[in-house]
Amino acid sequence: MQPLRFGILGAAQIARKLVPAMRRAPGVVPVAVASRDAAKAAAFAREFRLEPVAGYDALLARGDVDAVYIPLPDGLHEEWTLRAAAAGKHVLCEKSLTASCASAGRMVAACRAAGVRLMEAFMFRFHRQHARVRELLAEELGAPLAYYARFGFHLDDPANIRLRRAWPAAASTMSAATASVARDWSSAASRPPSPRSSRWRRGTAWTPRATRCWNLTGPAAATWPLASSTISPAPTRSGRSRGS
């Protein structure tokens, strides 16, 4: 079987972690890296034994690239996903995929029309610990009643692109990760919460609700810890929740 040949669309720091993982994955071969800065592409290529490419369009034009990994800033994800799809390339795009449902719809529609795959790069979905949680929810515990997580990091560089408020979704990556876990685990269970739960009542219908937000803590510092998914009683016709 022919390996899936990847081009890296941008010499970002996060790509430095993914390229070695690609080399370890069966059936995947990283081929080339592109940057708008030819010297930056050359330096990255030397470090990871890739072909350097000057410019993103030049990478999409290569015949030896089947798929692209997009580690660009969130505000560029839609543009380059659409261009990659038009070039017939599969797309592995960093999270957050994009800033709105409308934007995501355009990306999905373009990839479907081109007959290529689009995937958001949430690596945790394939971790054995998360697989075990999904297994427990599906087979033993049932749907979770509530989920709360904190995940973030401190930024002290005012020039960091994540602090540019004008960029769509620039500050959403951390909250997107925790919200994605909540969504993944809420959908893993094939039945309502376990009857062993003190909050469970016979005949109560349960529906998942997910929230996502971020919090900027200053002009030169930021954290994004907030995401939750709460399973709560479905409202009755009167508008009040059953069991409330």
> What are the catalytic residues?
95
User: CA 156, CA 68: separation in Å to the nearest integer?
Assistant: 31
Q: Is 101 exposed, middle or buried (0-12, 13-18, 19+ CB in 10 A)?
A: exposed
Phi, psi of 162 (to 5 degrees): -70, -15
The amino acid that residue 175 corresponds to is S
Helix (H, G, I), strand (E, B) or coil at 218: coil
Q: How far is CA 123 from CA 21, 92, 127, 132, 133, in A?
A: 11, 11, 7, 15, 15
Q: DSSP secondary structure string, 173-209?
A: HHHHHHHHHHHHHHHH-SSSS-TTSTT--TT--EEEE
- 100 upstream amide cis, omega within 30 of 0: no
**Residue 64: other Cβ atoms inside 10 A:** 10
Q: Residue for token digits 């560029």?
A: 76
Query: Which residues neighbour 156 within 8 Å (Cβ) at sequence distance 6 or greater?
Result: 220, 221
Contact 96, 176 (CB under 8 A): yes
